[in-house]
Structure 1
């Protein structure tokens, strides 16, 4: 049975939703691959829509506390590192891995069970990357290609497809995520008179900092737009020290939504990523840090997990607990009658 991954996501109450379900995509199509030359009005509109939409794609409240209490920090860290390596090995788009991490965090936050094992996180990671690839890539990798390296377990294709469907149902089929990376070009396009080489440096450094931010669990409590603003501020301070006017021009419409305290706290956390760069992500300032292993290299022996061994019923759909409570109340009323 073929499963369609097409979805029809509504864009809140924005008037643009009547004519286009993906406003930022429509803007990109006006000038493919070069957002820096489209009108300021279009960029401003896309930024407003992203800001309105982003809270719909953040993990559930209390997610950070749950990660601490369930000892899932290490599992999440390893899963995101694997996603980084897979992105580089498979030559995927940067937004694919940002979306995959978003799917991972949202799914775990919706399924705060106490029986997480590492093979479950690996299965979820494979499903997240596969779904994100199908959403973003023109030629998504095969399931066998995704599992080629750096996993401790190997899963049958049927198991991964079941996990994909479970993931999609849990996320309500809402895959058009707004992540900090969604703001990269929208913010940089507002900086006028930017020479091409400096534009490229800012883009690369911005992306590096956002990759580092994905691994910093402390930043989970901040909105994607605030993380993006902080990353841009760090980039401008590093590459363009006298850049106050550029920062104001690029971020005013977004920063007005936050308190000075939040802006300062998030900036200090992002600044620590500059002072102490993550060596396992950034090597010699390059994003391409993980070349594919030669076929002659012996990989770690993996544990095979078959479809019959996997029970996905522990991952309850959002609202399932509410339905159970409501039905039990109805039964209680009927028995009282």
Structure 2
């Protein structure tokens, strides 16, 4: 991916805008994020499969079925604008995207109903705000970013209920935010570097969140790849050294995620990651 492409511009946007970091500003929140126990992380790795879109979702997006990839991009563009407007945290953003993808993967979009996707995005946004934010916007304030359609509060509430029922009320989703602080603390022990790396990690994870190719990976795999990319010199030997500290993730999957980030010019990696070094 060359300079000036949407993904590159997205990363630059996050580098220059202080948004989405309400959940990670205070020292106490940072310390809590870094001090998650090994046992808790192992449980999250085991549970993250419960909060994934259907296995054929990425295939359907890539095939262009029902124009889903365009629909998803438009919805996530609006979600991004809404989160920026309200200054919400990174966790609620990832929750919102997770809800949207899971719903879209198991429910066919009604044909000829242009407003449905926007209503779905609005409902997912509101549910995520209730899960991850201290202040939830009033329904009348949700019409940000010059949307094409305006919905009444009752309509949004009904859509929220449909989303909750469709997702079987499994709303405490595991996201990359669940792992990132822990992985950074495993790779580096210097507290000042941890805080700086956490901020960089959030920007990087947010910048790649709208790219469908990363739906191939689980939250833990994305978080591990991002943690390595912001804390290490990205030479193969340094990457394999970092991977040795992250025993609970599949190393070949993290390497594949790093390769994708490299291919999309999100990070620069020196050499071939898939070496014959004994790391697996």
Global fold match (TM > 0.5):
yes
Match of 1:199 in 2: 194
Corresponding position of 2:256:
265
Determine helix, strand or coil for the equivalent of 1:155: coil
Q: Which residue in the other structure is 2:178 paired with? A: 182
Instruction: Name 2:57's counterpart in structure 1.
Output: 63
The answer as to whether partners of 1:191 and 1:249 remain within 8 angstroms in 2 is no
Superimposed CA distance per residue, residues 249-285 of structure 1 (whole angstroms, 9 cap, x where no aligned partner): 5422223xx5x3x3332211122444489xxxxxxxx
Distance 1:118 1:207, change over 3 A: farther
TM-fit CA distance, 1:112 = 2.6
Show structure 1 runs of 5+ residues with no match: 1-30, 278-337
TM-score scaled by structure 1? 0.64
The alignment status of 1:168 with 2:164, answered yes or no, reads: yes
Q: Relative to structure 1, is the Cα distance of residues 193 and 237 closer, same or farther in structure 2, using a 3 angstrom cutoff?
A: closer
1:80 alignment partner, one of 53, 76, 94:
76
Is the partner of 1:53 in helix, strand or coil? helix
Q: Secondary structure at the match of 1:215?
A: coil
For the pair shown, the structure with the greater C-alpha radius of gyration is: 1
Alpha-carbon contact 2:174-2:219 (below 8 Å) kept = yes
CA distance in 2, matches of 1:253, 1:61: 22
Q: Distance in 2 between matches of 1:98 and 1:173?
A: 17
The secondary structure found in structure 2 opposite 1:253 is coil
Deviation at 1:200, TM superposition (A): 2.8
Q: Could you tell me which residue of structure 2 aligns to residue 134 of structure 1? A: 130
Equivalence for 2:45: 51
**TM-score scaled by structure 2?**
0.77
Deviations 1:105-155 (A, max 9, x none): 000111034627441111000000100111111111111222133312111
Separation in 2, partners of 1:154, 1:63: 29
Query: How many corresponding residue pairs?
Result: 239
How far apart are the structure 2 equivalents of 1:174 and 1:124? Answer: 17
Alignment match, 2:11: none
**Cα displacement (A) at 1:54:** 0.5
Does the CA-based 8 Å contact 2:34-2:184 persist in structure 1? no
Is 1:34 the counterpart of 2:28? The answer is: no
* Residues 183, 228 of structure 1: 8 Å contact kept: yes
Name the stretch that deviates more: 264-273 or 230-239: 230-239
SS in 2 for 1:177: coil
Structure 2 CA distance, aligned partners of 1:190 and 1:264? 17
Q: CA deviation at 1:243?
A: 4.6
Aligned to 1:312: none
**SS of residue in 2 equivalent to 1:153:** coil
Distance 2:32 2:230 in 1: 19
- Correspondence for 2:151: 155
Is 1:215 aligned to residue 215 of structure 2?
no
- For residues 271-310 of structure 1, the aligned pairs below 5 Å read 271-275=262-266
Change (3 A) 1:116 1:54: farther
